[in-house]
């Protein structure tokens, strides 16, 4: 069986990574690239790395035409734009993995506050399944028409914190997530502060306490705990292409807990997970580069719990996780095409 796949908005970095990864997937045929640009680009002219491997021309975003040629569509549009297209895609019979933020926050009011816009598709907002397979019931993903692919920072933060919260090993209200990301995480749109000489040899914080991924992290951890929670999330930019590393500082709920107890909590939580590696040694971003792994390690120092979680923001943090979701939706081996 071969899944026929379309991508809407393939000219961003997540689109490029979907194409690269899908080319190594034995059960996928990429049939349709759809762009909202007026001048429809050839994808290999847009990304010369694809010359000779994927020379497809982009076509208009026509849900019915897409549905004739595809079973599943990855939506790689910016937030706000995605929800303008998703209803028609679903109506045309397509299954959708949306890589934007538009269906990640189940609470419409919260979404509108965080993204400063009206949510125009509330009906599907409640139907969307949050596609973090290690966190949600995989059967829900398997049956979903619409999967909201998680944000990059939330993926690492949630996988790093969920075992501790599930096991009530930490004070849930005193968590600090110090996050650092490579610059593809900021997207392909040109901005003055992302001009090469501004970021090269640089490192620093941004959006302190005001990043849109924070409510997404809080929502998922609220599910885990069964009640609202709130972490302090502080993102930083790293002068590298790919990679997120989150250093998470917590207070243990029990003074008697040992580092080995904490390690065991992770080991148990992720015993069956193909893409989470519970590490004894300290992770870094290079050890997960170009992979769909999330590396996690935990330390107990000076009465504090320190968790390190590392992912590749383009793979487990975006396009790789989207394919992981697709594999689940189509009952394939979850790791297919991902290593």
Q: Closer CB to its own copies, residue 185 or residue 265? A: 185
Q: Smallest distance from the beta carbon of 121 to its own copies, in angstroms?
A: 30
d(CA 157, CA 248): 8
Q: Which residues of 46-60 are buried (b: 16+ CB within 10 A; e: fewer)?
A: bbeebeeebebebee
Q: Closer CB to its own copies, residue 126 or residue 202? A: 202
Q: Smallest distance from the beta carbon of 153 to its own copies, in angstroms?
A: 15
Q: Smallest distance from the beta carbon of 17 to its own copies, in angstroms?
A: 11
Q: Closer CB to its own copies, residue 62 or residue 207? A: 207
Compute and round to an integer the Cα radius of gyration of the chain.
Answer: 20
Q: Smallest distance from the beta carbon of 88 to its own copies, in angstroms?
A: 31
Residue 152: active-site member: yes
Q: In what order do the strands lie in the sheet with 3-8?
A: 28-34, 3-8, 72-75, 95-98, 146-148, 129-130
Q: Beta partners for 304?
A: 301
The backbone region for 222, taken as left when phi is positive above 0, alpha when psi lies in -120 to 50, beta otherwise, is alpha
d(CA 202, CA 240): 10
Q: Closer CB to its own copies, residue 168 or residue 284? A: 284
Question: Which candidate in 54, 76, 152, 250 is catalytic?
Answer: 152
Active site residues: 152
């Amino acid at each position: 069986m071969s899944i026929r796949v379309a991508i809407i908005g393939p000219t961003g970095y997540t689109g490029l990574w979907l194409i690269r990864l899908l080319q190594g997937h034995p059960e996928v045929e990429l049939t349709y690239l759809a762009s909202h640009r007026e001048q429809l680009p050839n994808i290999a002219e847009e990304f010369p790395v694809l010359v000779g491997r994927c020379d497809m021309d982009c076509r208009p975003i026509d849900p019915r035409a897409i549905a004739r040629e595809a079973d599943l569509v990855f939506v790689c549009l910016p937030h706000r734009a995605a929800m303008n297209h998703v209803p028609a895609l679903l109506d045309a019979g397509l299954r959708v993995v949306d890589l934007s933020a538009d269906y990640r926050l189940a609470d419409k009011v919260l979404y509108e506050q965080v993204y400063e816009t009206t949510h125009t598709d509330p009906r599907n907002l409640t139907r969307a399944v949050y596609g973090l397979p290690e966190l949600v019931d995989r059967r829900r993903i398997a049956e979903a028409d619409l999967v909201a692919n998680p944000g990059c920072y939330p993926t690492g933060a949630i996988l790093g914190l969920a075992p501790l919260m599930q096991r009530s090993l930490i004070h849930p209200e005193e968590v600090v997530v110090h996050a650092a990301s490579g610059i593809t995480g900021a997207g392909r749109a040109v901005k003055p502060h992302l001009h090469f000489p501004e970021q090269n040899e640089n490192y620093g914080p941004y959006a302190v306490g005001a990043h849109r991924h924070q409510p997404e992290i809080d929502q998922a951890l609220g599910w885990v705990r069964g009640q609202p929670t709130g972490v302090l999330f502080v993102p930083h930019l790293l002068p590298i292409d790919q990679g997120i590393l989150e250093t998470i500082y917590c207070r243990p709920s029990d003074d008697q807990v040992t580092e080995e107890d904490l390690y065991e909590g992770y080991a148990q939580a992720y015993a069956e997970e193909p893409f989470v590696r519970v590490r004894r040694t300290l992770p870094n971003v290079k050890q997960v580069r170009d992979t769909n792994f999330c590396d996690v390690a935990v330390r107990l120092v000076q009465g504090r719990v320190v968790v390190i979680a590392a992912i590749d923001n383009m793979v487990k943090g975006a396009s790789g996780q989207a394919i992981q979701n697709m594999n689940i939706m189509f009952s394939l081996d979850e790791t297919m095409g991902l290593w």
